Amino acid sequence: MQYERDAIQAMTGYTPGEQPADSGIIKLNTNENPYPPAESVMVALGALQPEALRRYPSPSAATFLSEAARLHKLSTDQLVATNGGDELLRLAITTFVEPAQPIGIAEPSYSLYPVLAAIHGSPVHAEPLGADWSMPDDFGARMNAAGVPLTLFVNPNAPSGHLTSAERIDALASELDGVLLVDEAYVDFADPGHDVLSLVNRHDNLLILRTLSKGYSLAGLRLGYGIGAPGLIAPIATKTRDSYSVDAVADTLGAAALADQAAAKRTWQAVRAERQRVCAALRTRGFTIPDTEANFCLAQVPVDARKDAAGLYEGLKDRGILVRHFSTPRLENCLRISIGTEAQNNLMLGALGDLLR
């Protein structure tokens, strides 16, 4: 007897990056921030009172939202807090897409998008990114022609790290008939100067995703948020979202994390510096790497190398270093490598050097 919906029966679940129990493993596979959360966040954790756990949390995550509003100079009705950015993705689909309507994505991008579409019973309308990972000029027109009510666009792109300019995002939001969700999971690591947040005051169809998982070293906390016009935010915040999807710990610690910009910025700057060093070192070894503004790089293995990407992935794993390898056609000969600490990166570069020698 099959009890699942047909759509669930037919789909394949998301494959998360490996999370080994052994803390001696060097994890360069899931794009976590390699540095610990801010000291002020750990102090806030220690100061939590039992009462905060006995009671239900604030349904809106009010402490966090008011801190986010202050940081971004927006009002709280332009913000919604979610259980990680991933919950916002699911809620955007639930809120803006009729079952069976197509969901627009660029390809390649975040491998969770097709999974969420399949759960909803929606087909995916995928448009390929250019050879240089840029958005094609007719991307918006093609989404409109396909009747897409929601387009998911990750910027900086995963898995390449390519950054699409704010001007291009602005133009895309104008072009699209439906909602544009810009997934900014990695935007904290972009070179300073890139900013699309102010665009939410001019576009009623632009929803921006942020998360504390990467930039604030809080992947274990499960806290993300959406930024958009009040008319986009309200149905999510007051109807489709679970009342208590953000718990009391996340509400308090998330606010502490946003309040300590100086601490977070130190980690972003350290990641940028290491990113530059790692990419240069890999290019010297013959890897082709698109310019990246994220905390990872997509390294294409040289064709004449002693081992292909799958072989290098296995060889690194044998040496206790995890990176990500995707066996889709465009990514087959690439490794996606998260930027770690200086010591971790040196071990990874040394191991790759050995494997290729």
Ligand X SMILES: *Cc1c(COP(=O)(O)O)cnc(C)c1O
CB of 338 vs ligand X, minimal distance in Å = 11
CB of 154 vs ligand X, minimal distance in Å = 5
- Cis status, amide bond into 108, omega within 30 of 0: yes
| Residue 104 binds to ligand X (criterion: CB under 6 A) | no
DSSP H or E segment with residue 242? none
Closer CB to ligand X, 120 or 214, in the complex: 214
Number of residues that bind ligand X (CB under 6 A): 14
Task: Annotate 209-224 with DSSP letters as a single string.
Answer: EEESSSTTS-TTT--E
CB of 303 vs ligand X, minimal distance in Å = 29
In this structure, what is the dihedral angle of CA atoms 166, 172, 173, 179, given to the nearest 10 degrees?
-120
CA distance 109 to 93: 17
CA distances from 6 to 3, 96, 97, 302, 344 (A): 9, 22, 19, 43, 45
CB of 88 vs ligand X, minimal distance in Å = 8
Residue 342 · residue 307 · CB < 8 Å: no
**Residue of minimal Cβ distance to ligand X:** 84
Residue 211 · residue 32 · CB < 8 Å: no
Closer CB to ligand X, 17 or 320, in the complex: 17
Closer CB to ligand X, 160 or 213, in the complex: 213
Query: Among 43-51, 169-177, 208-216, 237-245, which window interacts with ligand X (CB under 6 A)?
Result: 208-216
- Of residues 293-322, those binding ligand X (CB under 6 A): none
What is the per-residue burial (b if ≥16 Cβ within 10 Å, else e) of 125-148? bbbebeeebbbeeebbeebbebeb
CB of 30 vs ligand X, minimal distance in Å = 8
In this structure, what is the dihedral angle of CA atoms 149, 155, 158, 161, given to the nearest 10 degrees?
160
User: Can you name the residues that pair with 128 across neighbouring β-strands?
Assistant: 107
CA distances from 95 to 83, 139, 238, 338 (A): 16, 23, 11, 33
CB of 286 vs ligand X, minimal distance in Å = 27
Taking CB under 6 A as the rule, which mask of x and - marks residues 165-204 in contact with ligand X? ------------------x-x-------------------
CA distance 256 to 141: 42
CB of 72 vs ligand X, minimal distance in Å = 17
Closer CB to ligand X, 211 or 333, in the complex: 211
CA distance 51 to 110: 39
Query: Among 66-74, 207-215, 313-321, 334-342, which window interacts with ligand X (CB under 6 A)?
Result: 207-215
- Of residues 74-93, those binding ligand X (CB under 6 A): 84-86
| Residue 224 binds to ligand X (criterion: CB under 6 A) | yes
| Residue 279 binds to ligand X (criterion: CB under 6 A) | no
Of the candidates 117, 110, 95, 102, the one whose C-alpha atom is nearest the C-alpha of residue 11 is 117
CB of 219 vs ligand X, minimal distance in Å = 5
- Of residues 109-168, those binding ligand X (CB under 6 A): 110, 154, 158
Closer CB to ligand X, 183 or 251, in the complex: 183
Q: Which residues bind ligand X (CB under 6 A)?
A: 31, 84-86, 110, 154, 158, 183, 185, 211, 213-214, 219, 224
